[in-house]
Amino acid sequence: MNVQPWFPHPIYFLQLEGQELEAVQAEMQAIYEEQAPGMSKNPNWERDTHHLTDPEFNCNILRQYPCPQFNQVISQALKDYLQTVGVDPEWAQDYNIINSWATCNRQHEYARLHDHGNVDIAGVYYLKTTGEDGNFYFKSPNSLLAHSYAFQKIPDEQDIKPIEGQLMLWPGFLYHGTRVNQTEHDRISISFNIQIKRWYQDHLFPPKST
């Protein structure tokens, strides 16, 4: 075609099925049940924002609890994701999930628009959802198009219906949120941030002498 959709932002989707889905669901459900009693809201946010394992995000439940099946899924998904966008997956073998948390959107709750800062890749796994309990959505990073009379009709948000057992990965800088859960069903997800080790880190941050 004559108009090219240049500079896209790659979003990765993986739908788990069969025994793999059952194993991951069991792992994540066990972790969520451990976290659920202590989940709370950030007091500095709007009243109807969601419940979180830690509103300050100083937690890492995927490292705190054993979940080998899910960690294996993330590792393979990361390789597939990077290979798809032209990055040698061997380069990213040394990565770390730097924080992870559970999220619960109860009736009338939502996730405010936010990004994940300077992390390489952000991710979410949908543990429990009806698909009708609040869409996930991205905000376009090309927001300046709204200032143009010629291009202001281009949508600046993309909604995604959540699917139980689905994993999503995306660049951490992309703004995103969730719509209000209008149902009586609790929408439960596991979110995490991935940082890939740079080749120069050992030179910049050598082990401290004791």
Provide CATH code, domain 12-198: 2.60.120.620
pLDDT at 209: 67
151-194 per-position pLDDT tens digit: 888 888 999 999 999 999 999 999 999 999 999 999 999 999 99
Q: What is the DSSP letter of 185?
A: S
- CA pair distance 54, 140, nearest whole angstrom: 27
Give per-residue pLDDT as tens, 88-117: 877 778 899 999 999 999 999 999 999 998
Structure tokens at 119: 């992390």
Residue 94 DSSP class: S
Please give the Cα distance from 164 to 183 (Å, whole number). Answer: 16
pLDDT of residue 40: 94
- The predicted model gives 187-206 an average pLDDT of 88
Single-letter amino acid, residue 44: N
Q: How far is residue 100's CA from residue 61's CA, in Å, rounded to a whole number? A: 6
Residue 24 banded pLDDT, cuts 50, 70, 90: very high
pTM over 0.75: yes
Quote the CA–CA distance of 203 and 184 in Å, as a whole number: 52
